[in-house]
Amino acid sequence: MLRFDLPRVPAHVIRFEAFVTHVLCWLSLLVSPWFLVVPLAQGAVRGFLGHRYCPAHLLWRRLFEAAGGAGRLEDAGPKMFANKVLFIASGAALALYLAGSELWQVPCVVLITFSFLEWGLSFCAACWVYSAWYKRFPAAG
């Protein structure tokens, strides 16, 4: 559902979070899949509770605002949707790893790709899907 009751989030902070996700996913591929626990937790908090409850987001936001580089404010609804996708993909990767399957790398590579699109090119695929969905199926009321 569309969320208009959420405080907006600064663009550069969101891009930095995508960069952190990108780095953590690379570390999970190259070092240990257990690095995916961090995106799993952040995706759960930011995706289901909101950015205002994520300690890392609050810290980064404070640092970026103090430096004067937080960027324009963006709607949090699509970003929450993106974080729900992050939660599901990192959870699936960890579950596959725990099951002994080499397929855990597939959702990890997908996260690497989409997190790069977000921080490197400022293209949020989840945001695009979110807005396309609500153009096709408008919210009732």
pLDDT of amino acid 3? 56
Half-sphere exposure (Cβ direction) of 64: Cα atoms closer than 13 Å: 20
- In this prediction the pTM is 0.88
Q: How far is CA 128 from CA 47, 81, 93, 98, in A?
A: 16, 11, 24, 32
Domain layout of the chain by residue ranges? 9-131
pLDDT tens readout for residues 43-54: 999 999 999 999
Structure confidence at residue 112 (pLDDT): 96
- Name the pLDDT band for 118 (thresholds 50, 70, 90): very high
Distance CA 91, CA 36 (A): 8
Q: How confident is the model at residue 97 (pLDDT cuts 50, 70, 90)?
A: very high
Model confidence at 1, in pLDDT bands (50, 70, 90)?
Answer: very low
Cβ-proximal residues to 36 (8 Å cutoff; 6+ apart), any chain: 24, 25, 28, 90, 93, 94, 97, 108
Is 87 a residue whose pLDDT tops 70?
yes
